[in-house]
Amino acid sequence: MDFLVTGGSGFIGSHIAQALVERGHSVRVLDNLSTGRLSNLDDLAGKADWRQGDVRDRQAVAQAVSGVRCVLHVAALPSVARSVQDPLGSNETNVTGTLNVLLAARDAGVERFVFSSSSSVYGDTPVLPKQEDMPPRPLSPYAAQKLMGEQYVRLFHSLYGMKTFALRYFNVYGPRQNPDSPYAAAIPRFIRCLKEGRPPVVYGDGKQTRDFTFVRDVVAANLACVTAGSDAAGQAMNIAGGHRVSILELIAALQRIMGTRISLSMEAARTGDVRDSLGDVTRAARLIGWRPETTLDKGLAETVRSFVSVSGAA
């Protein structure tokens, strides 16, 4: 078996699994369906080895990793808000689960391990763009958990020789992102509201900025780690769009694409949210030859089309 994708029924994981299958690789998916959806893998029916299991279950993880050459570890309990409400529950998946997968990968002789981390590890430091050598300042349990995952990934490279990579994603968006979760990301929530004629909810003044990254570019970064040279192993790298936009500007762009003019609902800022975010992708370009290729306008248009298409089919 070439690859194991943990969390492979989720938003990002399913895109990674599909890309690997399309390139002719044998792929196994491990997912407990707590946030993922089987429908995300409809196009891979009979083409991937899907297993329902939890990364907190060491036996299930060991069985899933057996015979695998490379692990792409995407499984997590996402959301800053969720981690603030339930720090222990998210820690069990995001830290203990990650350690379980790393241990199983080490014991199975896995060659490469790619960890999905988060730009949230930087916290609210005022310096922009964020660079990997900046001191991390997590503002939420989720951010702290991702940082701990990075430390374990780095240690497994230095202690056991496994080629490991930590990718710090900046606000990933795209088709298949679930708008129904109470912890849904901004873009699918905004699209759903605009489509239904409801005011999108904006937390804070809306002038906070984000660096949005299209999911296809995130997939490309994961695949680049599979073939990257040894000098990239053990490193954390920003995976970002390289351009920041305010939440108000983002909604305005979506309104233009969707042809809507709907007022906004402003609410108080949320605890643990970062004010501004922008990623420097110089290190990823140098070490794994990766740069983002999808502009925000192009990515938003494709995302909107996918939501309209899915809704129309339903």
Rounded to the nearest 5°, which phi and psi values hold at 42?
-55, -40
- Tell me which DSSP letter residue 126 carries: S
For the chain, the distance separating the N- and C-terminal CA atoms, rounded to the nearest angstrom, is 35
Taking only Cα atoms into account, the Rg of the chain, rounded to an integer number of angstroms, comes to 19
Return d(Cα 254, Cα 20) in angstroms, integer.
Answer: 31
Q: Per DSSP, what are the bridge partners of residue 238? A: 168
Of 122, 142, 152, 169, catalytic: 142
Contact (CB, 8 A) for 168 and 117: yes
With a CB cutoff of 8 Å and minimum separation 6, the contacts of 22 are: none
Return d(Cα 247, Cα 217) in angstroms, integer.
Answer: 21
Contact (CB, 8 A) for 94 and 102: no
Return d(Cα 220, Cα 304) in angstroms, integer.
Answer: 21
State the angle between helix axes of 141-160 and 97-108 in degrees (0 to 180), rounded to the nearest 10. 20
Which secondary-structure segment (H or E) carries 143? helix 141-160
Annotated catalytic residue 142: yes
Tell me if the bond preceding 200 is cis, omega within 30° of 0: no
| Residue 163 DSSP SS3 | strand
CB count within 10 Å of CB 142 equals: 26
Known catalytic residues are: 142
